[in-house]
Chains A and B, each alone.
Chain A
């Protein structure tokens, strides 16, 4: 158990819908990262937040957005869902203390199925 929690574990929805994925980082970690993992693309970085502010952006679609709240939990919002958005969505957290090591700990993931 990494200490990172994600809800829900599974989500099944229809095209055109909107969903929200939730992540709670490890105690003490200020940084949250969102990744998408599909069979053909592998694990792809979407977006990072540090202490409530956006820090880095990867291959995140405009239909997707995220935020980090004062209690450091984060939410990833996916809207106008398409079949191709079906994937495993992972959240990871790290301390980001300025040390180069800065290991990321991954949550168990949310499996999103768009029908």
Chain B
């Protein structure tokens, strides 16, 4: 089974850096995804990690440690439009590529 934990809410200031953590327990692992979801809208893909290390993509970076069952999403130079929910999702092995999502972290960016 899966158990994915992330903080429920975070607040950060415009222009700052914020790190959103995700821990997971899984019986088989085949990749970890981060999605962004604005209220009432569809989730949109941010990043994918399958090997240990850091993946950088513009203002967003994602890190994975498989041995620790740990990932984080790093958002730099925060903008007001980054206020959204950030969903950590694990793809189990033999899942047919389906994703198991955490409950999401609601990020509020303040001026």
> B40 to chain A: which residues have CB within 8 Å?
88
Using a CB–CB cutoff of 8 Å, the interface residues on chain A facing chain B are: 2, 4, 31, 33, 35, 41-45, 48, 50, 55-56, 58, 88, 90, 94, 96, 100-109
A-B interface pairs (CB < 8 A), number:
62
A45 near B42: Cβ-Cβ < 8 Å: no
> B99 to chain A: which residues have CB within 8 Å?
33, 45, 104
A107 near B97: Cβ-Cβ < 8 Å: no
Among the interface residues B43, B48, B101, B104, which one has the most CB atoms of the partner chain A within 10 A?
Answer: B43
CA distance A77 to B40 in the complex (A): 22
Interface size class of B (residues with CB under 8 A): 20 to 34
Least Cβ–Cβ distance between B43 and chain A, in angstroms:
5
CA distance A90 to B95 in the complex (A): 18
